[in-house]
Structures are given as structure tokens and as C-alpha cells.
């Protein structure tokens, strides 16, 4: 068996009240004891920071919860550094939920192999990972986006939004980004190829939307909640499809989305669907098989915001929850 290791970790010190601050976290070196029989030791290379972690650390997420003093959870790309299992050899790259720490022991059932065809492993946390699968579920599986659709995507350049836009464009739809700030407007139009871009801070959303979608919106992929949800819903075309996927506006606890009156859905003959990405795990392998070649060929853009070092995770996460990130937030922990 193995010896103890110093394990750099980020723990939750205090549940955030409102927008999280770096003071809610602490960087510690903990000791990782000897590896138990059957466990596989992994070293974190890339850590994904995602909005759902805000509800996990608040203690109100539907799947997970943690206490103060615990290592903050999160999905990572890791390298196996100790293993007695021939199916999971030393050196293999895997995806697992190690959390915000350098090393972690995992059972084999907690590991997924990173497809060998992938030249950049961080992609498995962004456009080819959970955010990408969410975008695929929303755009392809649920909304069935097709040529002629007018698709509106808020949080337009983030993990989910960036992939959703590219899937909609590939299907022949017109794409409208809602974002904030000059940097993100440029990324939306120049890097991700949206047809139109609306700044949610500097522009009047209702007016700007009416100008770029005069026939109405046929698909709205809601990643943020109100007031955007209600404003876009008022401009749905008859028979419009709405995919409810995220409520980032509400996550810091100082806002509650109510959505439009149901009468609006009736008038618009709308189809409104909820999306939980966990339901699409069985399709992940097929999703990867279809999209890895496109990413490798440069036909899909991964708009990642990479931060250096595990110690940068608290501020990078707070930046995400302030809405300041300019792409899918990933921390490069080790090489």
C-alpha cells in the first residue's frame, strides 16, 4: 500500500450569504492517509467550477450537500497515480468528482475514462462535458432546433451557452445572444458566431429583441430566470418552445424568479420543458463520439476561462457567481 501525502485542498469555512466571497473558503494542506484496498488514487489536473456548486455549499442542492470544514465538491480531470486494478492503470486520464483538492482516492465506479481521441482533456469539462451535454439536451433532444428557428440564449458565452449557440447554428437557426459587457459581446459575435447580440445591462432587452426578432422567438433556452425569462417569453412566436434549464439570477439568494403568468404560455401555444442534465448521462458516450471529431477538427469552439493553480479556485468561483466570467470556468491544477 501507499504512504501518506500532503494534499492541498480548499474547504468551505462558512456558507455564503448572498454573492460568495473568497472568505467563505480556506486553502489548507491536509494529510491523505494510506490508500485503502480497492481504491484508486487520482491526481487532479483540471477542476471544473460550475454554478450548481453555489446551491451545494448553501445546503440546498437536489443531489449533494456539504458541511463547513468539508472539501468543496467539483468535477475534475485527473491522472491515476496509484492503482491495483488493471482496468484503471497508472497514467490513465479520468473524469471524477474529486472536489477542490490535489489528490483523492476513488472507487472504480466513480471514474470515467477520458476518450483517448481527445487532445485537450479540459474539453471534457466544457463543451464535451456536462455543460456541453446540457446544451445538446436543450437544443437537440428537447427543442429539436432546426433551420428557420430564431433561438435566444442568455449567459451566451458561458459553458452551456457557448455550446448551445454552436449547436443551434449548425442546425441552421438564427442565434441571438444575451450577455453583458464589451468583452463578452465580442466573444459572442466573433468567437462563437452568434448572428445578433444584446447587452442585458446596457440595452433595453424588450426593445432590442423586437428589433432583431421581429417575427418572434421560436426557441428560448432559459439559463438565468427573471426578468429575462418573462421579457423573452412575451416575445415568443406562436408555438414557441421554451427550455427551462437554469436560474442563475436566483442562486445567490437575493432574487426569486416567478416567470410569466401561465396565460402567456396559453396564448403563445408554447411548449415549456424542464431539463436536468443527469437524465442524459446514458447519452454521454454517443454525444462524445459525435462531437469529439468536430472539436478536434476546430469546427467547435471551446470558450474556456482557465485559472492557474488550486489556490485560485475561490476567487474564480466568486467571479463566476458575480457573473463576471467570460467563458466556461476551469482551474488548471497540475500537468
187 binds ligand NAP (CB under 6 A): no
180 binds ligand NAP (CB under 6 A): yes
48 binds ligand NAP (CB under 6 A): no
Piece of the chain touching ligand NAP by CB under 6 A; list 61-69, 75-83, 212-220, 243-251: 243-251
Q: Binding residue for ligand NAP (CB under 6 A) from 35, 95, 307, 328?
A: 328
Between residues 224 and 331, which has the closer beta carbon with respect to ligand NAP?
224
Piece of the chain touching ligand NAP by CB under 6 A; list 116-124, 231-239, 247-255, 284-292: 247-255
185 binds ligand NAP (CB under 6 A): no
Between residues 73 and 154, which has the closer beta carbon with respect to ligand NAP?
154
Q: How far apart are CA 202 and CA 57, in angstroms?
A: 32
Q: Binding residue for ligand NAP (CB under 6 A) from 140, 160, 232, 243?
A: 160
Cis peptide bond prior to 154, omega within 30° of 0? no
The CB-of-108 to ligand NAP minimum distance in angstroms stands at: 26
184 binds ligand NAP (CB under 6 A): yes
- Which of 236, 212, 243, 44 shows the shortest CA–CA distance to 145? 243
The CB-of-80 to ligand NAP minimum distance in angstroms stands at: 27
Residue pair 9/76 in contact (Cβ under 8 Å)? The answer is no
308-327 positions binding ligand NAP, by CB under 6 A: 320, 323, 325
Q: How far apart are CA 17 and CA 19, in angstroms?
A: 7
153 binds ligand NAP (CB under 6 A): no
Between residues 20 and 80, which has the closer beta carbon with respect to ligand NAP?
20
240 binds ligand NAP (CB under 6 A): no
Between residues 155 and 331, which has the closer beta carbon with respect to ligand NAP?
155
The CB-of-30 to ligand NAP minimum distance in angstroms stands at: 28
Q: Binding residue for ligand NAP (CB under 6 A) from 205, 223, 243, 292?
A: 223
129 binds ligand NAP (CB under 6 A): no
Between residues 32 and 137, which has the closer beta carbon with respect to ligand NAP?
137
Q: How far apart are CA 237 and CA 247, in angstroms?
A: 23
Piece of the chain touching ligand NAP by CB under 6 A; list 9-17, 94-102, 118-126, 242-250: 242-250
Using alpha carbons only, give the angle 87, 78, 136 rounded to the nearest 5 degrees. Answer: 95
Q: Which residues contact 148 (CB under 8 A, 6 or more apart)?
A: 172, 173, 218
Piece of the chain touching ligand NAP by CB under 6 A; list 64-72, 76-84, 105-113, 177-185: 177-185
Q: Binding residue for ligand NAP (CB under 6 A) from 131, 132, 240, 260?
A: 131
Contact residues for ligand NAP (CB under 6 A)?
Answer: 50-52, 131, 134, 154-161, 179-180, 184, 200, 223-224, 245-249, 275-277, 320, 323, 325, 328
Amino acid at each position: 500500500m501507499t504512504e501518506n501525502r500532503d494534499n492541498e485542498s480548499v474547504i468551505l469555512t462558512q456558507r455564503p450569504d448572498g454573492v460568495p466571497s473568497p472568505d467563505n473558503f480556506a486553502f489548507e494542506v491536509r494529510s491523505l492517509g494510506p490508500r485503502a484496498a480497492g481504491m484508486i488514487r487520482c491526481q487532479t489536473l483540471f477542476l471544473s467550477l460550475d454554478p450548481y456548486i453555489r446551491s451545494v455549499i448553501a445546503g440546498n442542492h437536489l443531489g449533494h450537500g456539504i458541511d463547513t470544514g468539508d472539501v468543496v465538491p467539483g468535477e475534475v480531470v485527473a491522472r491515476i497515480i496509484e492503482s491495483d486494478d488493471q482496468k484503471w492503470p497508472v497514467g490513465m486520464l479520468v473524469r471524477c468528482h474529486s472536489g477542490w483538492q490535489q489528490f483523492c482516492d476513488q472507487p472504480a465506479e466513480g471514474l470515467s475514462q477520458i476518450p483517448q481521441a481527445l487532445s485537450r482533456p479540459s474539453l471534457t469539462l466544457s463543451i464535451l462535458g456536462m455543460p456541453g451535454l446540457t446544451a445538446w439536451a436543450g437544443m437537440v433532444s428537447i427543442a429539436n432546433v432546426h433551420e428557420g428557428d430564431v433561438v435566444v440564449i442568455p449567459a451566451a458565452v458561458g459553458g452551456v451557452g457557448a455550446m448551445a449557440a454552436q449547436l443551434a447554428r449548425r442546425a441552421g437557426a438564427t442565434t441571438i445572444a444575451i450577455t453583458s459587457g464589451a468583452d463578452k459581446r465580442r466573444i459572442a459575435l466573433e468567437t462563437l458566431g452568434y448572428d445578433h447580440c444584446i447587452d442585458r445591462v446596457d440595452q433595453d432587452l424588450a426593445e432590442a429583441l423586437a428589433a432583431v426578432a421581429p417575427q418572434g422567438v421560436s426557441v428560448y433556452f432559459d439559463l438565468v430566470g427573471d426578468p429575462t425569462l418573462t421579457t423573452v417569453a412575451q416575445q415568443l412566436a406562436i408555438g414557441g418552445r421554451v427550455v427551462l434549464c437554469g436560474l442563475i439570477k436566483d442562486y445567490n439568494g437575493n432574487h426569486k424568479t416567478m416567470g410569466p403568468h401561465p396565460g402567456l404560455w396559453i396564448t403563445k401555444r408554447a411548449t415549456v420543458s424542464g431539463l436536468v442534465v443527469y437524465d442524459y448521462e446514458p447519452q454521454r458516450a454517443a454525444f462524445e463520439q459525435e462531437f469529439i471529431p468536430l472539436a478536434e477538427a476546430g469546427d467547435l469552439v471551446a470558450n474556456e476561462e482557465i485559472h492557474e493553480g488550486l489556490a485560485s479556485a475561490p476567487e474564480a468561483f466568486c467571479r463566476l457567481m458575480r457573473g463576471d466570467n467570460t467563458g466556461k470556468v476551469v482551474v488548471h491544477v497540475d500537468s
